[in-house]
Structure formats: C-alpha cells, structure tokens
C-alpha cells in the first residue's frame, strides 16, 4: 500500500484506441492489486480492472489540451490510454504504477493475496487436480526398462529439475551423477515422453560441457542406456535445437555439443531455433505491428515479415515435427537439448508431444503437458515472464511460442483438438497474471521453498470449471486422421498471424459473429433435446409401471405419484441450459475480453459491451428451440471507420 | 475449320497422370473437341478425369528423345497442364510425336475465339431443357418485384436495340421524371454510353446507389445539361448526393486529357465527390499471377512468402474494394444520402463496389437466390466483359490483353465478409468456388460474351443452358448452403483492418493438403447441424412431444381418478 501515492483520481478519460472519439469519463482507482476504472453516468456500471502484474510498462505522453495522457501496455497485449486532467495526478499515478507493476519480492505477487471463497481443504485439493505420476503411468511408466530415480529427491543433483525423474533402469546412480556433472547446470538426460507402442522416447537435457575435446564416460553410458532402452532401434538422435554457430561458440566457453565420434550410435542434428534474445526482439516488433492503427495492407504484411516472428514459429514447429516423426515413424529415441534445456527444449519436446499423442490435444492433456514439460522441468517462468522486477534480458516469450505452435496446428487441423483458442489465450493470460501460484518461480524447488501450494491456489481446476467455454465443437477424436501422429504442412502459407491473441482487445478487428459459439450452442441443444427425450421415455416407463401397480394397489398411488413428479423435476434441474451455456451466446458472441469467473483478473470491457447475458435462463425447455435468436444479435455492429467519416471529410473543405 | 481438324492424335495409351497429393495413375488419354479425358482402366470401376479444354490456361511441354529417331523406343514427353481453376497436372505421354500432337490440339482448342464454337453450345444434359425463360430475372421483373421503386423510378427501354449503350441491357431503371431523350443525351456524355442508372434502392430509407462511367468533360470542361438534370432528379433537389470516384483525384484530372473527366462541383452543385484510388486492368491481373505464383511454391521461407504475398498486392485490392464498399454503405445507411459510383469505364470496379455495398446493406442479396440475382443484374446484365476479362487466368504466358480478375476479386471480398459474419450469408464458400471456376470455363452459357447485346447476337439464350438457373433447380445442392445461416436485417459492416483480412485459402490453396482439412471441418459443421435438426426439426419434435403427451394424458387422468377413489 505504501507505493500508492494516489488512490483515486476523478474525471479521468479512458480513450478507445480504435476510435479516439469514443471516450469514457470516470474515476480511476489504484488498489494494492488492481487498476480500476469506473465509468460515470451509465446505468450498467462500466468497469475496467487490470491486475498490476499484467502491466508491462507505463508511458507518459506529451500533454494535450484535454490533459495528460498515460499509456499502459499490458502483457496480455491490452493497451489502455487514460487522460488525466492534472499533471501532478498523472505523475503520481505514473510513479505508483511503475512501482506496483514491478514487484521486488515474490510475496508482493497477487497470488498470495488472492483469496477466493474456498476453504483450506478445497485449496489443497486444487493442487491435486493434476498428478504427474498418473500422467507417467498413462504413458506406461514405470516399466521394465524405465524407473523413477530417487537421486534428485532433495534437488541435490540438479536444483532446476523436478524431484521425480525417469531414467533407464540400467543406469546406476554414479552414472547419473557423472553425467549431470558433464551437463550445464546438472541437467542430465532424462525422460520427457515415452511412446507405449514402440518404446521410443523423447529425452531432454542441457548441453554437454564438452568444450573442444572433453569427454565423459558416464554421459556416454547414459546415452547408450537410453538408446538400449528402446529395444527395436539401433541408434538414437541427438537434437541440438540451437543454430550450429551458437553451439560452436559455446564450445569456447567449455560447453558445446556431443561429438558423434565419442558416442556410440548417435545421429547428431542441429535444428536452428534462435535464442531468447532474438525471440524477445522479434515479438516486440510483432507487437508493434499488431498495435498499428489502421496500417495499409502493405505496411502490415511487411511489418509481419520484418518481425521474423512466423519464421521462428516455423522453425520451432519443424523441430517438433522432426522429433515426432523420429519417434512415431522410425521408432527411434531422441535426446533434445539446447543450452540450458529449459527454453527451446521445453518448446520442442512439448510441440512434438502434441503432434504425437492425441491426449495432449484434449483440455486436460494440454494442462498436464504444460505442468510436466514446463512447470516441473524448470522453465524459468518468473524470469521469462518478468513476474518480478529484474533483468529485462531474461524476459522472453518462450511459452507464447509454444502456445502459438499449438494454435497454428489447430488452424491446420480444425477437428483434431478438444480445446479452442480461448483456452490457449486463457492460459497465456494466467501465465503472466500471477493470479494463481502455478507459474510463479523458476523451478519446483523454489516453489517448494516458497510454500506455493500452501499459500496460493492452482489455476487448473479453475480452468477446468469453465471447460465448456474452451470446447471445440468440431473436435472429432474418433476420426482416423486425428488419431496418432499429426502431420502438419510447413508450407509458409500455413503460418498465420494470430489475431485473437495479439489484437485480443481490439474488438472491431474480430469477426462479428462467432461460428464456434453458434456451433457450441447447437451441440448443447442437441444434447439437451436428447436428454429430454430420454426423460419422457423414463416418465412413460414409470407411468406404465404405475398403471400396472394401481390396478392392484390403490393405496400406493399417492406416494408413487409424488415420486413421479419429483423425478422429472430433479432431472430437468440438472439440465437447465445455463449449466451448459457459458457466457458467450448472449449479447456479443465475439467479445473475447471476458472469461467466465475471471473477473478478478480481467478487465470488463467497456464501450457498450453488455456483460454476459443470462438469456439462457429464459430459454424454454419444452419448445426445444432455446432462445435461438440470441446468437444473431451479435452482428449489431458499429460500422468501422472507412473514411475519416464522410461528414468529417467535408468539414475539411 | 472444323474443330476436329485440330486433333491429330485423339487417343494415347499408357499415359501417366500426376496430380498433387495423389499417387500417379496410368491410363488412356483422349482429346475431343472440348475435353481432355483421362481414364484409368486398371480397375473394374475405372476412374476418369474430364477436363474442359477451355479450363486449360497454359501448357508446358518437354520432350526427350534421340534426335532423328522420332519413334525411338523410350522417347516420351511430358505435358504440364495448368488450369484456370489453379489445378496443375502432369501427363507423361509415350511417343514424342503423340505428345506434340496432343499439346498442339490442347493449345488450339483451349483458346477458341468464336463464341458459338464453345462448349456451352454443345452441352446438352438430359436433365435440362432449352425451353423456357433464360436467366433468373429481367430488369422489368426486378422492377415489378421491388415496390419501393414504383413511386420515383421507371423502367426505360431506350436501349432496347442497344444503340444508346452497347454494354447495357435493353431495359434500365432511371428516375421517373427523366425522359428517354434526356437519357440519350446523357449517354453521349458518358464513356461507352454508360449513363447513370439505378443499381440499388435501400429498403430502409429509399436512398439509392447509381452507377455509370466517367463523364466526358474533356480538357475544355464540357457540360451536359441532361446529365446534370438526370443526377439532379436522382437526389430530388434539396438533398445531397455523393459521387464515389474510383480513381485518385490526380487520375481523374489526368483523364480529362484523354476526353474523360469527373463531375465538377460547379456543374453538379448538390453532389459531393470523393476519390478512392483503385487499381484496374493489367495491374490487378498481374497481382493474381504473382499471388498464384507465390502460393505454388511451398518450399519458400515464411519471410519470402510474406514478401511475395505483399508484393502481389492482391490483399490490398481486397482491402480497397471492401473499404470503398463500406464507404458507400456509410453514405447510404448512416448518412442517408444517395450515391453515384463510377471509375473510368464503369464495367469493373464500379460493379465490384456497387455489388459489395448491396451485399453489406441488403439482407435479400445474402440468400442464395438473392446473391445469384445480384450477380446476374450487376455483372452479367450490367455488361461486365466476362469473355475479355476471363480469357486467361493466372498461368497463361499469352500477352495480356483485356484480362482482369474483377469477378474473382468480388468473390474474394464476399468470402471475407462471410469469414467475419459466418451466420449472415445463406450460401457457402463452395458456391463462391463454383462461380470462380465457372466464370473462367463452363458448360453453361451464363458467362459467355461481354454484354447482353453480344449474347443476343450469338444466340446464347436460345442455344445454351443457364448456370444460375441450374444452380437453383431442382433444389439447391446442400454443399452450396451455409448450415449456420441466420438471416439478419441489419447491415453487416465488415472490418477492413489488414489484421482482419485473410488469404482466401479455399481458392488459392485449393489443391493443397491444407484445403483437405478444411473440407473435413465443413463436413463436421454440417453433421452437427444435421444432428440438431433431426432432434429439433419442427416436425419431429412436435411429433415426439405430442405422441408422448397423448400417451401420458389418459394415464394421468386414470391416475387422478384412482386417487379420488
């Protein structure tokens, strides 16, 4: 609280960036956790809530006649512009926000003060929602070739790895220790994915400390053991995801890559994904392009090209494809590493997993995958997402790229994923929001030391609750081409600009009607009707029975009649439409700003956007056609500004 | 010369056919006057590929043989066939001579000049008859159906012999108070005689979209009283109208040097002019060629692809067409003023903008019938020179003459609108693709010739079938319908931000694996909707519910009786 110099400013104007003529006047509040803007005048309170942890930077602009503009860029790509009447107020807000958005200690993060109305047991339970042990056993582990090694239980061998790690059974503890000493930060080769069908595995590690000529017998034994644990194959791939030049430069620092001559039966391969600094700059350029106000087609496309962003997405995807094909088609195990093995390695392993295993294309599966390959294996979320004030060079959109690869795949295979892009965008939001404890800190050990599980809540059950919002109505799990390995095309035209993410808050850019929501409503209704039919049949059966009974026993009639009425009542309660229909059908189907139940973190969109309507309540079960007109109401769109507006055009003359 | 004389080799055995994403096939190749037929005779159920020769845009041949041994064993040739619908095929033909013969037949027969030699004049399917009216609706019928026109507008038959304007239909809709002789004068003052005629009257406020060609003011700032009065009559005196000139102000100025010009403020005092630059003709055709070229090489890097996509400028054309259409709609719907749209000739961009504006404004033009009628009225009858514009598509090496993919651009823009309003159009992407294909090569006579006059002279209406009719009869095929259609009365304003416009993958990547997955998705949409209809269809739900009620009621009565007992 001591950082808030100015808890409240009146007469602040909020400018809609799509059209500077649409302005809201209201009051700006600064709380310990949020920036809150409350619009004045209108009956339905227009509010904008922004978490401090989502604020990327705050910029003061040159004063104008109307006041002092303050521009807030958020990590979820929202850009907010306030105009504050007094310079001193503006400065105070600026100073307060600059401090509030850059917490110095973990304890300041929102997840430690976020206290939803749940009891302790429920909170603890939320952390058990995902269980990595169950995930490994889903893969078929442990088995006769792979087991959990206790060696890192106390995080002594590698403090950035999880406590439980799978290694070949044939590997002895000294070999692991030896290998870990020969790898950057002790990140020795360990299992990430196991393919039940052919025993091929994806393993991950950091770079070897090979320098120009160093060798390590244990490390060589380790790789040999991994290769042997795949009985069908005679060699394994070692994939270095860095550009060859970078890897060679590392040799001078005593690091580097595996020498094919020293390791038996390995095939070594460079992939050439650029490092975190290149990616950070690239995304910065992309964000600038996405934020251009009415660019020409040429400016936009050239900007997209110059950002190089899609090229990086493509190279990540290609790495994933290479590995998934090695595993599924050749049945060969792969060891993946980059420098430290927590950025590109995490990306590539998880992209390959999504391609390989349909489970990761389900809602729960993607959660598990992120929990396993990213959270548990020590992707440095706090550094990469800039949760705390720190070294800006550590920040990089590594997980953004993974989510985008999944999105690109969804675009190519519209029927292969259980989730839709809202799910990815929600995850993206929460990776940065610090609203839940999952993505805080840089490793499992740090999280344990901080007692994250005791002090904060887990995001996954929260997302699971709103899973109906995240469903892809086109998902066809039984379709043969959606089973097993996905074979995406890497033709350049298959890589598209992700408008829903980068222009998430620019409502006027998105389709005015949502096919997805419409299909979802239709599907839900079909299901409802089916249930209704079943209900009637049930009712009939009961009545039949009753009739038979009543012929003999008059006494029982009254009781059974009650039963008759209570039965349908219960069932119909269980399938009232609002249970299925999320927030997106009523009002404006394409409004992306609201995730159900996320109000604490998110931002109520302003400018005439009705919050979720509860129209669904009024839908008539009996008619079977529940309030169907509601999904066409979304196109009540305002015209985009085609000219400067015709009238404005002539005022000039 | 008889068509068959072009065919020196009609049949070749043992030809290998290669198509993208299919295994190579061996079979027999036949050339007929209008078709290329490949049949795979290996299996019982033989597979056939029938290509309209007119659909072939370019062929490339390469022969390998030992010089001087024309029939040498092993001599063979490869023909690459590039179709106007962007499909690319390869045929490996044994025998150099056969290969060259086939190639020269294709070259000659795919570019016939005479309309009456073209396939639509020979196409006689058993399920269609040549009797009865041709087309969906005439201008008179349109007028009769549109009650809001009756008061202030009339049908003029001043052009019944096509002498006033050769590219206009015989009947046009003009202000009631303007007499035919004024129209004749105005026509003389407009390029190609295309005087201002009504294109659309807005159902909400009676404002209209007019279209014409440029006025021939020339360097001396000529005037035409009748033309001025005609436009005055359109806006009925007091109000204000907008002239949307599809050229930049500078281009419009320059046009005066060659006899053209624009409506100056001093002469047309109630009309405000807005200039919007649109590329035309060759530039747009070259855009198409560059775009297709960029799409045909999947090995490009992403950077190269994006720079080629940008360089083609195709999406920029889509962007300007939609923006200007939006501007027209803004004038009509929001500001409540009438609009006159024209560029130079008034046969390309003018039609593009006026028909897009109607799609955005008018719910009636978003149904299948309404959309096809719109195309008939605004493109076919309005005299878009299809034969010249669609003579070649993206692959041809022939020197460009009058080719320009204006119609394709329209279909692309309509597709963009559909992407943004997936529930608002009754028709599907498949219909747009079908139209794109038919405009370039067709069994039907609809897109033949350049104007109504030419169609009359060639006897198109008597001797060919009409595509638009056959699309609607007997029933519209399911694939041409949008399963999610929900009519709306509102204007559907598309976003024209570059971030919102996309490459039309369905057309430009039609023959890649990318399109296959999209087909699967479309099928799934249909199956979801069908399942829903099965459950919720008005007949069925009512039936099941009422049968249940019928069966339940007597029981309940019985039970009530029993309770009383």
pLDDT > 70 fraction of chain B, expressed in percent and rounded: 92
Same domain, B235 and B378: yes
Question: What pLDDT digit, counting tens, does each position of A509-529 carry?
Answer: 888 888 888 898 888 888 888
**Given CB atoms, is B293 within the 8 Å cutoff of chain A?**
no
Would you give the end-to-end CA distance of chain B in angstroms?
99
The pLDDT of residue A567 is above 80: no
Cβ–Cβ < 8 Å for A216, A207 = no
Same domain, B290 and B195: yes
This prediction's pTM: 0.87
Q: Do A557 and B334 touch (CB under 8 A)?
A: no
Same domain, B70 and B183: no
Report d(CA A72, CA A432) in Å as an integer.
16
Q: Which of residues 468 through 507 in chain A touch B, CB cutoff 8 A? A: 473-474, 476, 479, 481, 489-497, 499, 503, 506
pLDDT of residue A368: 96
pLDDT of residue A339: 93
Same domain, B432 and B480: yes
Same domain, B195 and B338: yes
Same domain, B76 and B222: no
**Given CB atoms, is A621 within the 8 Å cutoff of chain B?**
no
Report d(CA B320, CA A545) in Å as an integer.
70
Question: Virtual CA dihedral for A277, A280, A281, A282, nearest 10 degrees?
Answer: 120
pLDDT of residue B98: 85
pLDDT of residue A625: 33
Question: What pLDDT digit, counting tens, does each position of A412-429 carry?
Answer: 999 999 999 999 999 999
**Given CB atoms, is B533 within the 8 Å cutoff of chain A?**
no
Report d(CA A606, CA A602) in Å as an integer.
12
Question: What pLDDT digit, counting tens, does each position of A337-386 carry?
Answer: 999 999 999 999 999 999 999 999 999 999 999 999 999 999 999 999 99
Q: Which of B307, B529, B548 sits opposite A536 (nearest CB)?
A: B548
Q: Quick one: pLDDT band at residue A2, thresholds 50, 70, 90? A: confident
Dihedral over Cα of A607, A611, A612, A617: its sign: negative
Kindly give, in sequence order, each residue whose CB lies less than 8 Å from that of residue B210, ignoring residues fewer than 6 positions away.
Answer: B196, B197, B198, B199, B231, B234, B338, B339, B340, B341
The pLDDT of residue A434 is above 80: yes
Same domain, B430 and B561: no
Return the structure tokens found at B120: 């639509």
Q: Quick one: pLDDT band at residue B133, thresholds 50, 70, 90? A: confident
Domain with B15 in it: what CATH number?
Answer: 2.30.29.30
* Alpha-carbon gap: A46 to the closest alpha carbon of chain B (Å): 25
Across chain B, mean pLDDT equals: 87
Across chain A, mean pLDDT equals: 83
Report d(CA B474, CA B136) in Å as an integer.
14
Q: Do B305 and A493 touch (CB under 8 A)?
A: yes
DSSP one-letter code for A17 = T
Find chain A residues with C-beta within 8 A of B419's C-beta.
511
Same domain, B62 and B173: no
pLDDT of residue A584: 30
pLDDT of residue A175: 94
User: Which of the two residues, B69 and B120, has the higher pLDDT score?
Assistant: B120
- The closest of B338, B324, B325 to B208, measured between CA atoms, is B338
Number of domains forming the structure of chain B: 3
Cβ–Cβ < 8 Å for A49, A121 = no
pLDDT of residue B14: 86
Return the structure tokens found at B415: 């597709």
Examine the fold and report which residue of B475, B490, B505 is the final residue of a domain before the chain moves on: B490
Report d(CA A638, CA A507) in Å as an integer.
11
User: Which of the two residues, A553 and B427, has the higher pLDDT score?
Assistant: B427
Question: What pLDDT digit, counting tens, does each position of B241-292 carry?
Answer: 999 999 999 999 999 999 999 998 888 888 999 999 999 889 999 999 999 9
**Given CB atoms, is B330 within the 8 Å cutoff of chain A?**
yes
Q: Quick one: pLDDT band at residue A202, thresholds 50, 70, 90? A: very high
Find chain A residues with C-beta within 8 A of B338's C-beta.
none
Asked if the structure places residue B510 within a domain, the reply is no
Same domain, B556 and B428: no
Question: What pLDDT digit, counting tens, does each position of A147-171 carry?
Answer: 999 999 999 999 999 999 999 999 9
pLDDT of residue A575: 28
Q: Quick one: pLDDT band at residue A52, thresholds 50, 70, 90? A: very high
> Which segment of A210-224, A484-498, B468-482 scores lowest on mean pLDDT?
B468-482
| ipTM entry | 0.90
Would you give the end-to-end CA distance of chain A in angstroms?
54
Asked if the structure places residue B501 within a domain, the reply is no
Same domain, B90 and B158: no
pLDDT of residue A294: 83
Report d(CA A384, CA B363) in Å as an integer.
50
Asked if the structure places residue B497 within a domain, the reply is no
Return the structure tokens found at B563: 């309770």
Residue B478 burial (CB count, 10 A): 11
Strongest mean pLDDT among B190-194, B470-474, B475-479: B190-194
pLDDT of residue A627: 35
Asked if the structure places residue B117 within a domain, the reply is no
Return the structure tokens found at B66: 């030992």
Strongest mean pLDDT among A31-40, A62-71, A442-451: A442-451
Find chain A residues with C-beta within 8 A of B521's C-beta.
414-415, 474
Chain A residue with CA closest to B522: the answer is: A474
**Given CB atoms, is A288 within the 8 Å cutoff of chain B?**
no
Asked if the structure places residue B361 within a domain, the reply is yes
Q: Collapsing DSSP states into helix, strand and coil, what is residue B337? A: coil
Report d(CA A383, CA A389) in Å as an integer.
9
The per-residue DSSP string of A346-406 comes to: HHHHHHHHHHH-GGGGSHHHHHHHIIIIIIITT--HHHHTT-SS--GGG---HHHHHHHHH
Dihedral over Cα of A237, A241, A247, A250: its sign: negative
> Which segment of A109-123, A340-354, B545-559 scores lowest on mean pLDDT?
B545-559
Examine the fold and report which residue of B471, B490, B509 is the final residue of a domain before the chain moves on: B490
* Alpha-carbon gap: B316 to the closest alpha carbon of chain A (Å): 5
Chain B residue with CA closest to A556: the answer is: B563
Same domain, B143 and B103: no
Identify the residue among B244, B306, B420 best suited for mutation to test binding to A, counting A beta carbons within 10 A and taking the highest. B306
Same domain, B452 and B531: no
**Given CB atoms, is A285 within the 8 Å cutoff of chain B?**
no
The pLDDT of residue A579 is above 50: no
Asked if the structure places residue B495 within a domain, the reply is no
Phi/psi at A39 (nearest 5 deg)?
Answer: -70, 150
Q: What is the mean pLDDT of residues A565-591?
A: 31
Over the Cα atoms of chain A, what is R_g?
28
Q: Do B319 and A296 touch (CB under 8 A)?
A: yes
pLDDT of residue A523: 86
Active-site positions of A read: 338
Q: Do B330 and A645 touch (CB under 8 A)?
A: yes
The pLDDT of residue A650 is above 60: no
Asked if the structure places residue B356 within a domain, the reply is yes
Asked if the structure places residue B499 within a domain, the reply is no
Return the structure tokens found at A80: 């907010």
Report d(CA B38, CA B36) in Å as an integer.
7
Q: Quick one: pLDDT band at residue B239, thresholds 50, 70, 90? A: confident
- The closest of B149, B153, B164 to B213, measured between CA atoms, is B164
pLDDT of residue B554: 53
The pLDDT of residue A577 is above 80: no
**Given CB atoms, is B530 within the 8 Å cutoff of chain A?**
no
> Which segment of B35-44, B210-219, B434-443, B534-543 scores lowest on mean pLDDT?
B534-543
**Given CB atoms, is A272 within the 8 Å cutoff of chain B?**
no
CA distances from A360 to A165, A369, A370, A408 (A): 20, 7, 10, 15
B521: containing domain: 517-565
Examine the fold and report which residue of B112, B131, B153 is the final residue of a domain before the chain moves on: B112
The pLDDT of residue B132 is above 60: yes
Q: What is the mean pLDDT of residues A299-304?
A: 94
Question: Cis peptide leading into B141, omega within 30 of 0?
Answer: no
């Amino acid at each position: 609280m001591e950082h808030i110099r100015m808890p409240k400013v009146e007469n602040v104007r909020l400018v809609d960036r799509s059209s500077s003529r649409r302005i809201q006047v209201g009051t700006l509040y600064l709380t310990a956790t949020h920036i809150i803007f409350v619009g004045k005048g209108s009956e339905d309170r227009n509010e904008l809530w922004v978490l401090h942890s989502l604020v990327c930077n705050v910029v003061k602009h040159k004063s104008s006649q109307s006041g002092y503009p303050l521009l807030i860029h958020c990590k979820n790509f929202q850009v907010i512009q306030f105009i504050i009447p007094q310079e001193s107020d503006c400065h105070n807000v600026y100073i307060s926000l600059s401090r509030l958005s850059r917490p110095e200690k973990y304890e300041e993060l929102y997840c430690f003060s976020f206290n939803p109305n749940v009891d302790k047991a429920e909170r603890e339970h939320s952390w058990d929602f995902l269980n990595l042990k169950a995930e490994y056993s889903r893969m078929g582990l442990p088995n006769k070739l792979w087991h959990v090694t206790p060696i890192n239980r106390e995080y002594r061998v590698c403090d950035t790895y999880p406590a439980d790690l799978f290694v070949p059974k044939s590997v002895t503890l000294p070999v692991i220790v030896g290998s870990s000493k020969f790898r950057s930060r002790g990140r020795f080769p360990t299992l990430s994915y196991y393919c039940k069908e052919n025993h091929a595995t994806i393993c991950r590690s950091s770079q070897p400390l090979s320098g120009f000529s160093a060798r390590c017998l244990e490390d060589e034994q380790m790789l040999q053991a991994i290769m042997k644990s795949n009985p069908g194959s005679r060699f394994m791939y070692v994939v270095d995801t860095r550009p060859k030049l970078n890897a060679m430069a590392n040799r001078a620092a005593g690091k580097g890559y595996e020498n094919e001559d020293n390791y038996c039966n390995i095939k070594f391969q460079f992939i050439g994904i650029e490092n975190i600094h290149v990616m950070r700059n690239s995304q910065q350029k992309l964000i600038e392009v996405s934020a251009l106000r009415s660019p020409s087609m040429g400016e936009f496309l050239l900007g997209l090209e110059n950002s190089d962003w899609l090229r990086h997405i493509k190279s990540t995807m290609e790495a994933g494809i290479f590995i998934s094909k090695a595993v599924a088609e050749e049945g060969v195990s792969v060891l993946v590493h980059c420098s430290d093995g927590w950025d590109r390695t995490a990306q590539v392993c998880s992209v390959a997993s999504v391609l390989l295993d349909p489970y990761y294309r389900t809602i729960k599966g993607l959660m598990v995958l992120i929990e396993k390959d990213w959270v548990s294996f020590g992707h440095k979320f706090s550094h990469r997402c800039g949760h705390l004030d720190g070294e800006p060079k550590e920040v990089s959109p590594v997980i953004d790229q993974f989510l985008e690869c999944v999105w690109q795949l969804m675009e190519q295979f519209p029927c292969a994923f259980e989730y839709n892009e809202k799910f990815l965008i929600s995850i993206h939001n929460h990776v940065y929001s610090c609203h839940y404890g999952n993505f805080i800190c840089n490793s499992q050990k740090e999280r344990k030391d901080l007692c994250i599980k005791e002090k904060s809540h887990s995001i996954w059950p929260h997302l699971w609750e709103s899973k109906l919002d995240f469903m892809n109505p086109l998902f066809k799990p039984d379709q043969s081409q959606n089973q097993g390995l996905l074979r995406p095309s890497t033709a350049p035209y298959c890589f598209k600009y992700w408008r829903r993410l980068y222009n998430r808050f620019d409502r006027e850019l998105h389709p005015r009607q949502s096919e997805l929501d419409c299909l979802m409503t239709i599907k839900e209704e079909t299901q409802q009707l089916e249930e209704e039919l079943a209900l009637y049949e049930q009712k009939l059966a009961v009545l039949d029975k009753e009739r038979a009974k009543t012929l003999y026993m008059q006494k029982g009639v009254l009781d059974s009649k009650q039963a008759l009425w209570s039965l349908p009542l219960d069932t119909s309660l269980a399938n009232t439409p609002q249970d299925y229909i999320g927030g997106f059908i009523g009002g404006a189907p394409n409004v992306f700003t609201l995730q159900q139940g996320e109000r604490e973190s998110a931002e109520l969109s302003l400018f005439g956007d009705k919050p979720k309507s509860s129209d669904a309540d009024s839908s008539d079960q009996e008619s079977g056609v529940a309030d169907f007109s509601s999904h066409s109401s979304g196109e009540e769109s305002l015209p985009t500004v085609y000219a400067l507006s015709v009238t404005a055009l002539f005022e000039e003359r | 010369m008889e068509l068959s004389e072009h065919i020196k080799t009609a049949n070749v055995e043992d030809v290998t056919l290669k198509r993208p994403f299919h295994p190579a096939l061996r079979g027999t190749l036949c050339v007929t006057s209008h078709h290329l037929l490949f049949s795979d005779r290996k299996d019982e159920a033989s597979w056939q590929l029938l290509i309209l020769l007119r659909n072939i845009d370019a062929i490339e041949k390469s022969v390998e043989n030992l010089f001087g041994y024309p029939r040498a064993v092993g001599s063979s040739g490869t023909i690459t066939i590039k179709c106007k619908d962007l499909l690319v095929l390869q045929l490996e033909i044994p025998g150099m001579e056969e290969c060259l013969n086939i190639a020269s037949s294709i070259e000659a027969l795919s570019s016939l000049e005479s309309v009456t030699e073209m396939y639509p004049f020979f196409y006689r399917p058993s399920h269609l008859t040549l009797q009865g009216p041709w087309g969906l609706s005439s201008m008179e019928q349109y007028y009769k159906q549109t009650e809001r026109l009756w008061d202030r507008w009339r049908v003029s038959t001043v052009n019944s012999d096509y002498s006033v304007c050769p590219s206009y239909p015989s009947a046009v809709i003009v202000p009631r108070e303007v007499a035919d002789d004024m129209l004749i004068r105005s026509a003389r003052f407009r390029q190609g005689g295309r005087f201002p005629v009504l294109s659309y009257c807005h159902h909400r406020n009676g404002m209209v979209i007019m279209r014409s060609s440029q006025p021939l003011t020339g360097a001396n700032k000529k005037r035409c009283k009748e033309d001025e009065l005609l436009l005055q009559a359109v806006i009925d005196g007091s109000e204000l109208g907008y002239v949307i000139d599809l050229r930049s102000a500078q281009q419009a100025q320059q046009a005066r040097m060659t006899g053209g010009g624009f409506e100056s403020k001093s002469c047309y005092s109630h009309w405000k002019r807005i200039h919007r630059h649109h590329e035309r003709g060759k530039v747009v055709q070259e855009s198409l060629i560059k775009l297709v070229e960029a799409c045909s090489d999947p090995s490009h890097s992403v950077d190269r692809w994006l720079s080629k996509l940008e360089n083609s400028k195709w999406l920029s054309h889509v962007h300007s067409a939609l923006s200007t259409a939006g501007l027209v709609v803004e004038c009509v719907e929001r500001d409540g003023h009438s609009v006159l749209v024209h560029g130079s000739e008034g046969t390309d961009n003018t039609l593009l903008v006026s028909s897009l504006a109607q799609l955005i404004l008018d719910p009636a033009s978003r149904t299948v019938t309404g959309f096809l009628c719109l195309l008939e009225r605004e493109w076919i009858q309005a005299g878009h020179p299809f034969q010249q514009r669609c003579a070649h598509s993206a692959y041809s090496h022939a020197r460009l003459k009058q080719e320009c993919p204006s119609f394709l651009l329209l279909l692309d823009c309509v597709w963009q609108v559909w992407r943004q309003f997936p529930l608002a159009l009754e028709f599907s992407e498949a219909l747009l693709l079908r139209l794109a294909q038919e405009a370039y090569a067709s069994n039907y006579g609809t897109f033949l010739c350049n104007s109504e006059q030419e169609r009359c002279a060639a006897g198109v209406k008597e001797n060919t079938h009409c595509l638009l009719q056959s699309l609607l009869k007997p029933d519209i095929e399911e694939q041409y319908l949008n399963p999610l259609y929900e009519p709306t009365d509102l204007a559907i304003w598309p976003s024209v931000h570059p971030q919102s416009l996309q490459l039309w993958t369905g057309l430009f990547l039609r023959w890649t694996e990318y399109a296959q997955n999209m087909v699967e998705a479309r099928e799934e949409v249909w199956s979801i909707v069908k399942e829903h209809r099965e459950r919720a269809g008005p007949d069925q739900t009512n039936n099941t519910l009422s049968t249940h009620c019928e069966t339940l009621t007597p029981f309940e009565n019985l039970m009530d009786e029993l309770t009383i007992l």
